[in-house]
Amino acid sequence: MNAAALKSELVLVTGMSGAGKSIALHALEDAGFFCIDNLPPELLPPLLDLEAQREPRRVAIAVDVRSKGSLPHLLPLVKQLRTEGQAIRSLFLDASDDALLRRFSETRRPHPLQDRSALAAHAAAPDGALALLEAVSLERECLGALRVESSILDTSLLRPAQLRTWVRDWVQTPGDHLTLVFESFAFKAGVPRDADYVFDVRVLPNPYYVPELRAQTGRDEGVQRYLEAQPEVLAMKHQLQAFLQQWLPAFVADHRSYLTVAIGCTGGQHRSVYLVEALAQHFAAHGRVLKRHRELDAR
Protein backbone atom coordinates (compact mmCIF):
# COMPACT_ATOMS: atom_id res chain seq x y z
CA MET A 1 0.00 0.00 0.00
CA ASN A 2 1.39 3.42 -0.90
CA ALA A 3 1.68 6.27 1.58
CA ALA A 4 -1.08 8.19 -0.19
CA ALA A 5 -3.54 5.54 0.91
CA LEU A 6 -2.90 6.29 4.57
CA LYS A 7 -5.15 9.32 4.92
CA SER A 8 -8.49 8.19 6.31
CA GLU A 9 -8.98 7.72 10.04
CA LEU A 10 -10.02 4.10 10.58
CA VAL A 11 -12.01 2.65 13.48
CA LEU A 12 -12.39 -1.12 13.73
CA VAL A 13 -15.54 -2.21 15.56
CA THR A 14 -15.58 -5.81 16.66
CA GLY A 15 -16.79 -7.97 19.52
CA MET A 16 -19.38 -10.50 20.53
CA SER A 17 -22.52 -11.10 18.50
CA GLY A 18 -25.39 -9.41 20.31
CA ALA A 19 -23.11 -6.98 22.17
CA GLY A 20 -24.29 -3.93 20.22
CA LYS A 21 -22.07 -3.52 17.16
CA SER A 22 -24.97 -2.26 15.02
CA ILE A 23 -25.79 0.40 17.62
CA ALA A 24 -22.11 1.39 17.78
CA LEU A 25 -21.93 1.72 14.00
CA HIS A 26 -25.04 3.92 13.99
CA ALA A 27 -23.43 6.13 16.67
CA LEU A 28 -20.27 6.43 14.58
CA GLU A 29 -22.32 7.19 11.49
CA ASP A 30 -24.05 9.98 13.40
CA ALA A 31 -20.57 11.23 14.39
CA GLY A 32 -19.62 11.59 10.72
CA PHE A 33 -18.00 8.24 9.97
CA PHE A 34 -18.50 6.30 6.75
CA CYS A 35 -19.50 2.88 8.09
CA ILE A 36 -19.24 -0.61 6.60
CA ASP A 37 -20.66 -3.67 8.34
CA ASN A 38 -19.16 -7.17 8.08
CA LEU A 39 -16.21 -6.31 5.85
CA PRO A 40 -14.03 -9.39 5.16
CA PRO A 41 -10.53 -8.55 6.49
CA GLU A 42 -8.86 -9.27 3.16
CA LEU A 43 -10.82 -6.39 1.64
CA LEU A 44 -9.38 -3.86 4.06
CA PRO A 45 -6.26 -2.96 2.00
CA PRO A 46 -8.27 -2.47 -1.24
CA LEU A 47 -10.72 -0.32 0.72
CA LEU A 48 -7.94 1.93 1.98
CA ASP A 49 -6.48 2.15 -1.54
CA LEU A 50 -9.89 3.27 -2.75
CA GLU A 51 -10.13 5.78 0.09
CA ALA A 52 -6.80 7.26 -1.08
CA GLN A 53 -8.59 8.47 -4.20
CA ARG A 54 -11.11 10.45 -2.13
CA GLU A 55 -10.93 13.39 0.22
CA PRO A 56 -9.77 12.24 3.66
CA ARG A 57 -12.65 11.05 5.83
CA ARG A 58 -13.29 8.95 8.88
CA VAL A 59 -14.13 5.30 8.23
CA ALA A 60 -15.53 2.68 10.60
CA ILE A 61 -15.81 -0.99 9.74
CA ALA A 62 -17.33 -3.88 11.67
CA VAL A 63 -15.49 -7.20 11.55
CA ASP A 64 -16.63 -10.13 13.64
CA VAL A 65 -17.14 -13.87 13.73
CA ARG A 66 -19.29 -13.75 10.60
CA SER A 67 -15.91 -13.61 8.82
CA LYS A 68 -14.59 -16.49 10.92
CA GLY A 69 -12.41 -17.95 8.18
CA SER A 70 -10.57 -14.66 7.68
CA LEU A 71 -10.18 -13.63 11.32
CA PRO A 72 -6.69 -15.18 11.78
CA HIS A 73 -5.42 -12.78 9.12
CA LEU A 74 -6.92 -9.65 10.69
CA LEU A 75 -4.46 -8.92 13.50
CA PRO A 76 -1.32 -9.37 11.35
CA LEU A 77 -2.93 -7.12 8.74
CA VAL A 78 -3.77 -4.44 11.30
CA LYS A 79 -0.22 -4.51 12.68
CA GLN A 80 1.21 -4.24 9.17
CA LEU A 81 -1.00 -1.25 8.36
CA ARG A 82 0.01 0.47 11.57
CA THR A 83 3.72 0.02 10.76
CA GLU A 84 3.00 1.67 7.41
CA GLY A 85 1.52 4.68 9.17
CA GLN A 86 -2.21 3.96 9.10
CA ALA A 87 -4.02 5.17 12.22
CA ILE A 88 -6.32 2.33 13.37
CA ARG A 89 -8.34 2.25 16.58
CA SER A 90 -10.08 -0.95 17.64
CA LEU A 91 -13.19 -1.08 19.83
CA PHE A 92 -14.29 -4.47 21.20
CA LEU A 93 -17.89 -4.71 22.44
CA ASP A 94 -18.33 -7.38 25.08
CA ALA A 95 -21.16 -8.57 27.31
CA SER A 96 -21.76 -11.31 29.83
CA ASP A 97 -23.00 -14.70 28.65
CA ASP A 98 -26.30 -14.12 30.47
CA ALA A 99 -26.84 -10.81 28.67
CA LEU A 100 -26.02 -12.31 25.28
CA LEU A 101 -28.30 -15.30 25.81
CA ARG A 102 -31.14 -13.01 26.89
CA ARG A 103 -30.72 -10.78 23.84
CA PHE A 104 -30.73 -13.68 21.40
CA SER A 105 -33.79 -15.09 23.14
CA GLU A 106 -35.62 -11.76 22.94
CA THR A 107 -34.84 -11.17 19.26
CA ARG A 108 -35.26 -14.85 18.28
CA ARG A 109 -32.27 -14.50 15.96
CA PRO A 110 -29.77 -17.37 15.60
CA HIS A 111 -26.17 -16.91 16.62
CA PRO A 112 -23.83 -16.78 13.56
CA LEU A 113 -21.99 -19.86 14.79
CA GLN A 114 -25.18 -21.88 15.15
CA ASP A 115 -25.20 -22.15 11.36
CA ARG A 116 -23.73 -25.53 10.39
CA SER A 117 -21.82 -24.05 7.46
CA ALA A 118 -20.04 -21.65 9.81
CA LEU A 119 -18.92 -24.59 11.95
CA ALA A 120 -17.63 -26.86 9.23
CA ALA A 121 -14.01 -26.29 10.22
CA HIS A 122 -14.65 -26.72 13.93
CA ALA A 123 -13.80 -30.30 14.89
CA ALA A 124 -15.99 -30.26 18.00
CA ALA A 125 -19.10 -29.17 16.14
CA PRO A 126 -22.04 -31.53 16.66
CA ASP A 127 -24.12 -32.87 13.79
CA GLY A 128 -26.92 -30.44 14.49
CA ALA A 129 -26.87 -26.75 15.22
CA LEU A 130 -24.51 -25.77 17.99
CA ALA A 131 -26.26 -24.88 21.24
CA LEU A 132 -26.37 -21.13 21.86
CA LEU A 133 -24.13 -21.17 24.93
CA GLU A 134 -21.59 -23.34 23.10
CA ALA A 135 -21.69 -20.93 20.17
CA VAL A 136 -20.99 -17.97 22.48
CA SER A 137 -18.09 -19.86 24.07
CA LEU A 138 -16.62 -20.69 20.68
CA GLU A 139 -16.99 -17.07 19.60
CA ARG A 140 -15.05 -15.91 22.66
CA GLU A 141 -12.30 -18.33 21.69
CA CYS A 142 -12.20 -17.04 18.11
CA LEU A 143 -12.08 -13.39 19.15
CA GLY A 144 -9.76 -13.72 22.16
CA ALA A 145 -6.62 -12.36 20.50
CA LEU A 146 -8.52 -9.45 18.96
CA ARG A 147 -10.04 -8.54 22.34
CA VAL A 148 -6.59 -8.24 23.92
CA GLU A 149 -5.52 -5.70 21.28
CA SER A 150 -8.65 -3.51 21.56
CA SER A 151 -10.32 -1.01 23.83
CA ILE A 152 -13.10 -2.97 25.57
CA LEU A 153 -16.59 -1.70 26.27
CA ASP A 154 -18.89 -3.85 28.42
CA THR A 155 -22.48 -3.46 27.21
CA SER A 156 -24.09 -6.02 29.54
CA LEU A 157 -26.18 -3.48 31.42
CA LEU A 158 -26.23 -0.61 28.93
CA ARG A 159 -29.33 0.72 27.24
CA PRO A 160 -28.92 1.61 23.54
CA ALA A 161 -28.85 5.35 24.35
CA GLN A 162 -26.06 4.78 26.88
CA LEU A 163 -24.04 2.76 24.39
CA ARG A 164 -24.38 5.42 21.71
CA THR A 165 -23.18 8.09 24.16
CA TRP A 166 -20.23 6.03 25.39
CA VAL A 167 -19.15 5.21 21.83
CA ARG A 168 -19.28 8.88 20.85
CA ASP A 169 -17.24 9.77 23.94
CA TRP A 170 -14.71 7.07 23.10
CA VAL A 171 -14.19 8.14 19.50
CA GLN A 172 -13.79 11.80 20.48
CA THR A 173 -10.75 11.07 22.65
CA PRO A 174 -7.37 10.93 20.89
CA GLY A 175 -6.24 7.38 20.25
CA ASP A 176 -2.51 8.04 20.25
CA HIS A 177 -2.12 8.55 24.02
CA LEU A 178 -3.42 6.90 27.17
CA THR A 179 -7.01 7.78 28.10
CA LEU A 180 -8.11 7.30 31.69
CA VAL A 181 -11.66 6.00 32.12
CA PHE A 182 -13.28 6.19 35.56
CA GLU A 183 -16.50 4.20 35.91
CA SER A 184 -18.84 3.88 38.89
CA PHE A 185 -20.99 0.77 39.26
CA ALA A 186 -23.16 -1.22 41.65
CA PHE A 187 -21.80 -4.56 42.84
CA LYS A 188 -25.35 -5.87 43.07
CA ALA A 189 -25.60 -5.53 39.26
CA GLY A 190 -22.22 -7.11 38.53
CA VAL A 191 -18.62 -6.01 37.92
CA PRO A 192 -17.86 -4.34 34.55
CA ARG A 193 -16.08 -6.73 32.21
CA ASP A 194 -14.04 -3.94 30.65
CA ALA A 195 -12.33 -2.83 33.89
CA ASP A 196 -8.54 -2.98 34.21
CA TYR A 197 -8.73 -2.17 37.91
CA VAL A 198 -11.71 -2.75 40.23
CA PHE A 199 -11.86 -1.07 43.64
CA ASP A 200 -14.48 -1.99 46.23
CA VAL A 201 -15.53 1.00 48.36
CA ARG A 202 -18.44 -0.66 50.14
CA VAL A 203 -16.42 -0.43 53.38
CA LEU A 204 -16.89 3.36 53.41
CA PRO A 205 -19.73 5.15 55.29
CA ASN A 206 -22.88 5.03 53.20
CA PRO A 207 -24.97 8.20 52.64
CA TYR A 208 -27.90 5.94 51.77
CA TYR A 209 -28.57 5.59 55.50
CA VAL A 210 -28.85 9.36 55.96
CA PRO A 211 -32.54 10.04 55.13
CA GLU A 212 -31.99 13.47 53.59
CA LEU A 213 -29.18 12.13 51.36
CA ARG A 214 -30.79 8.89 50.22
CA ALA A 215 -32.32 10.30 47.02
CA GLN A 216 -29.20 12.29 46.12
CA THR A 217 -26.10 11.04 44.30
CA GLY A 218 -22.35 11.45 44.57
CA ARG A 219 -22.65 14.40 42.20
CA ASP A 220 -24.71 16.37 44.72
CA GLU A 221 -23.13 18.80 47.16
CA GLY A 222 -24.83 17.32 50.20
CA VAL A 223 -23.42 13.84 49.57
CA GLN A 224 -20.01 15.25 48.75
CA ARG A 225 -19.87 17.25 52.01
CA TYR A 226 -20.96 14.20 54.00
CA LEU A 227 -18.32 11.93 52.42
CA GLU A 228 -15.53 14.49 52.63
CA ALA A 229 -16.17 14.75 56.37
CA GLN A 230 -15.36 11.02 56.78
CA PRO A 231 -11.63 10.30 57.38
CA GLU A 232 -11.95 6.85 55.76
CA VAL A 233 -13.26 8.37 52.53
CA LEU A 234 -10.43 10.90 52.30
CA ALA A 235 -7.88 8.16 53.02
CA MET A 236 -9.36 5.96 50.28
CA LYS A 237 -9.37 8.85 47.79
CA HIS A 238 -5.76 9.83 48.47
CA GLN A 239 -4.55 6.22 48.30
CA LEU A 240 -6.31 5.65 44.96
CA GLN A 241 -4.81 8.85 43.59
CA ALA A 242 -1.33 7.87 44.74
CA PHE A 243 -1.63 4.33 43.37
CA LEU A 244 -2.73 5.47 39.92
CA GLN A 245 -0.20 8.32 39.84
CA GLN A 246 2.59 5.85 40.54
CA TRP A 247 1.60 3.36 37.83
CA LEU A 248 0.40 5.68 35.05
CA PRO A 249 3.91 6.04 33.56
CA ALA A 250 4.17 2.26 33.25
CA PHE A 251 0.92 2.07 31.29
CA VAL A 252 2.04 4.92 29.06
CA ALA A 253 5.36 3.16 28.44
CA ASP A 254 3.42 0.01 27.54
CA HIS A 255 1.64 1.99 24.78
CA ARG A 256 -1.78 1.40 26.30
CA SER A 257 -4.59 3.41 24.74
CA TYR A 258 -7.09 3.02 27.59
CA LEU A 259 -6.98 2.31 31.30
CA THR A 260 -10.41 1.69 32.84
CA VAL A 261 -10.68 2.09 36.61
CA ALA A 262 -14.00 0.83 38.02
CA ILE A 263 -15.15 1.98 41.46
CA GLY A 264 -17.96 -0.06 42.98
CA CYS A 265 -20.32 0.37 45.91
CA THR A 266 -23.61 -1.28 46.78
CA GLY A 267 -26.00 0.75 44.62
CA GLY A 268 -23.68 2.70 42.34
CA GLN A 269 -25.25 5.98 43.46
CA HIS A 270 -23.28 7.64 46.26
CA ARG A 271 -19.76 6.52 47.22
CA SER A 272 -18.58 5.17 43.87
CA VAL A 273 -20.02 8.16 42.01
CA TYR A 274 -18.33 10.60 44.38
CA LEU A 275 -14.94 8.92 43.99
CA VAL A 276 -15.20 8.74 40.20
CA GLU A 277 -15.99 12.45 40.09
CA ALA A 278 -13.10 13.22 42.47
CA LEU A 279 -10.59 11.06 40.60
CA ALA A 280 -11.62 12.47 37.23
CA GLN A 281 -11.13 15.99 38.55
CA HIS A 282 -7.76 15.12 40.11
CA PHE A 283 -6.44 13.59 36.89
CA ALA A 284 -7.96 16.21 34.57
CA ALA A 285 -4.47 17.61 34.04
CA HIS A 286 -3.61 14.26 32.44
CA GLY A 287 -5.62 15.62 29.52
CA ARG A 288 -7.59 12.54 28.47
CA VAL A 289 -10.16 11.53 31.06
CA LEU A 290 -13.62 9.99 30.62
CA LYS A 291 -16.28 9.56 33.32
CA ARG A 292 -18.93 6.86 33.23
CA HIS A 293 -21.66 6.21 35.80
CA ARG A 294 -23.17 2.89 34.76
CA GLU A 295 -26.19 2.96 37.04
CA LEU A 296 -26.83 6.71 36.98
CA ASP A 297 -26.48 6.93 33.18
CA ALA A 298 -29.16 4.24 32.85
CA ARG A 299 -31.83 6.42 34.45
19 is in an annotated binding site: yes
| HEC letters along the chain | CCHHHCCCEEEEEEECCCCCHHHHHHHHHHCCCEEEECCCHHHHHHHHHHHCCCCCCEEEEECCHHHHHHHHHHHHHHHHHHHCCCCEEEEEEECCHHHHHHHHHHHCCCCHHHCHHHHCCCCCCCCCCCCHHHHHHHHHHHHHHHHHCCEEEECCCCCHHHHHHHHHHHHHCCCCCCEEEEEEEEHHHCCCCCCCEEEECCCCCCHHHCHHHCCCCCCCHHHHHHHHCCHHHHHHHHHHHHHHHHHHHHHHHCCCCEEEEEEEECCCCCHHHHHHHHHHHHCHHHCCEEEEEHHHHCC
Check the annotation: does 22 bind a ligand.
yes
Q: Does the annotation place 268 within a ligand binding site?
A: no
Query: Is 150 marked within a binding site?
Result: no
* 67 marked ligand binding residue: yes
- Residue 17 known to bind ligand: yes
Residue 18 annotated as binding site? yes
264 is in an annotated binding site: no
218: annotated binding-site residue?
no
Is 1 marked within a binding site?
A: no
Determine whether the annotation assigns residue 147 to a binding site. no
Does 189 carry a binding-site annotation? no
**Residues of each annotated binding site:** 15-22, 64-67
**Residues of each annotated binding site for GTP:** 64-67
**Residues of each annotated binding site for ATP:** 15-22
